[in-house]
Structure 1
């Protein structure tokens, strides 16, 4: 029995040694892998690969790339991994036209900035300059060279009346919005929000800003009841009636009233 037991242990010793050797080899491989990984990381941070090579800005139409780069603090050659993306985002969002953005680090050395801008809804005529007005009511200074298909605003100031108008324009159906050529502010003692809209089809609309979106939604159906060869003023200020340029006082039928 004892002899058999000793032989059994002797048979197992080589297997135990082999298991221990394999386990030691695995540990060595893991340690070597960690060591080489650390070397790669150190070499990367010390090499030009860890410096910003490219700054890719996308989605901007109003804000220029130069403006975004200037306010962001980003520049080629800077340390890629020293960038605080939250700080960069907060800096760029100071631009009035920027609604939101995302900053991404793309390996090995590229920064991607995805911009989402406020829409431009109108062009404000001020001091012989045309300045875009954003959907948040902000007027962009020094952007008069920006071309866009939007209504021109005349007689407006940067105040609550302008912001109320922009709020209404946002709610006007797209096809009707693009048919507006010009909006003139014509305040009255009884209605400081009174305006005239000049349409691309040759008609004119008499309206008040607080009900503009609601009334203009009916514009296509109202125009559809009129002789296309006769142009005039569509009054949306209180009810709905039409007054031809050639002969005044031609009212719309009750069916056309809103």
Structure 2
């Protein structure tokens, strides 16, 4: 073996040893661990809820977080079903950002003194809420899961300007019309509608409401007309 080759091999071994030492020194130092955590993308969850669900702490190895990204995302979804997934970005190789992809809330139901969130995949979350924040409708008397899922899908298709004005949606079915519903609006009006046509007709609500001189009822169950509450219709 030539002296030149021996020199190359010796240099290579020294390089490998140096890399191993640096590698071990890095992972044994605070520089390898998460320093600051920022959460982005949450709407109805608290940032600390997400951090707790990921089980990432200031003692977690940053590299370990990225190597276990899919596993952490899946476990976070199990812990918080309204979270579709989480992904991570780092800054300065110390600071971690958790980006949350969250299912939108489509409303709530009230039962036994608590509110329960209904999310975009049709699931009713088991978390009990004494109160809630956000402008979401309350669904009442939708005792069958299929009926509740159907009305939330209808609500989702409505224009944002209309959705933001809806306070409560009631199942008001009768023998004559099992599709009948009543809607309480935040502006004080009430709407009588049919689930088969309400998503198309509600887009006319702002125009009809603007022409009303007094608060009252807008009936779009069959046709489309309105009358004040003090009218005996």
The two structures have a TM-score, normalised by structure 1, of: 0.73
How far the C-alpha of 1:74 sits from its partner, in A, is: 2.4
How far the C-alpha of 1:27 sits from its partner, in A, is: 9.5
- Is the counterpart of residue 143 in structure 1 residue 102 in structure 2? no
The two structures have a TM-score, normalised by structure 2, of: 0.80
- Is the counterpart of residue 240 in structure 1 residue 224 in structure 2? yes
Encode CA deviations 1:216-258: one digit per residue, 9 max, x unaligned: 011123334x4x3233322211222234433345xxxxxxxxx
- Is the counterpart of residue 193 in structure 1 residue 175 in structure 2? no
Determine the structure 2 residue equivalent to 1:159.
145
Encode CA deviations 1:107-156: one digit per residue, 9 max, x unaligned: 53443311122222323222232333223333332233331122232323
Distance in structure 1 (CA, Å) of the matches to 2:72 and 2:207: 49
8 Å CA contact 1:168–1:210 kept in 2: the answer is no
How far the C-alpha of 1:197 sits from its partner, in A, is: 1.0
The 3-state SS of whatever aligns with 2:132 is coil
Structure 2: gaps (5+ residues)? none
Determine the structure 2 residue equivalent to 1:14.
none
Q: 1:82 to 1:142 in 2, by over 3 A?
A: same
Distance in structure 2 (CA, Å) of the matches to 1:53 and 1:230: 58
- How large is the Cα RMSD of the aligned pairs? 3.1
Determine the structure 1 residue equivalent to 2:22.
40
Structure 1: gaps (5+ residues)? 1-20, 250-258
Query: Looking at CA atoms only, which structure, 1 or 2, has the larger radius of gyration?
Result: 1
8 Å CA contact 1:161–1:193 kept in 2: the answer is no
Determine the structure 1 residue equivalent to 2:197.
211
Q: 1:175 to 1:111 in 2, by over 3 A?
A: same
How far the C-alpha of 1:186 sits from its partner, in A, is: 1.4
